[in-house]
Amino acid sequence: MNPKEWRTYLVTQGSRSAGRDTEAIVEAALDGGVDAVQLREKGVSDAERYELGRRLRELTADAGVPLLVNDRVDIAGAVDADGVHLGQSDLPVAVARERLGEEAVVGRSTSTVGEARAAAEAGADYVGVGAVYGTGTKDVPDAKDGIGTDRIREIAEAVDLPVIGIGGIDADNAGAVAAAGATGVAVVSAITAADDPRAATAALREVVDDAR
């Protein structure tokens, strides 16, 4: 469950899954060797997200892969997730850890060196950095144009935390993100919308491994 070992990180979103259910996508990604799964699922009710989280908890636990919940510390606790990923406007890292326990993994979204340093000082276990490239995911900072791999390098050099690149990443450009210093990459559509999510996960992992 060490973020330093994460190469591929799936962020779920049913609306970007080509009509397939999220459980099927996660199962395929687990078969493909994904290292971490984040329950995101924007646009659904709390009850739906909770029920899905319970089912994903079973799948990820059986596979020995950590499950995190996007933004919602309460849902993370309710489904016994391994941790939470927090945006800049979410609860402080220390509060999330207090509610989820000292062993919980707490990540923070960042897009600047200053934000990454603040996350490190607050005790985050890793930082998600993006959007690296332009993306249609609305809640990724700087999603329209992307911050580029130079920012990945700057942040990786500035903080002693695992850096997970996110935003517009796929197998064609993931190598550049890893080569710039990212520990791994977080993706939505590169896996959820793929014709073969298992193969897409395996290919992404191989690209990141080769570039590191």
Catalytic, 45? Answer no
Query: What pLDDT sits at residue 135?
Result: 76
* Predicted pLDDT at 139: 57
- The per-residue pLDDT for range 80-96, each reduced to its tens digit, is 999 999 999 999 999 99
Token look-up 């197998």 returns: 171
Q: Out of 40, 72, 108, 151, pick the active-site residue.
A: 40
Does 138 qualify as catalytic in the annotation?
Answer: yes
Strands 36-39 and 8-11: parallel
Binding residues for Mg(2+): 71, 90
Its pTM stands at 0.96
pLDDT of residue 168: 97
Q: Which residues of the chain have pLDDT under 70?
A: 136-144
Binding-site annotation: residue ranges: 38-42, 70-71, 90, 109, 135-138, 168, 188-189
Active-site residue, 212 included: no
Domains of the chain from N-terminus onward: 3-211 (3.20.20.70)
Residue among 16, 109, 111, 151 flagged as catalytic: 109
Cβ–Cβ under 8 Å, residues 129 and 141: no
Peptide bond before residue 131 is cis, with ω within 30 degrees of 0: yes
Beta bridge partners of 110: 129
**pLDDT tens-digit series, residues 104-118:** 999 999 999 999 999
Three state DSSP letters for 141-209: CCCCCCCCHHHHHHHHHHCCCCEEEECCCCCCCHHHHHHCCCCEEEECHHHHCCCCHHHHHHHHHHHHH
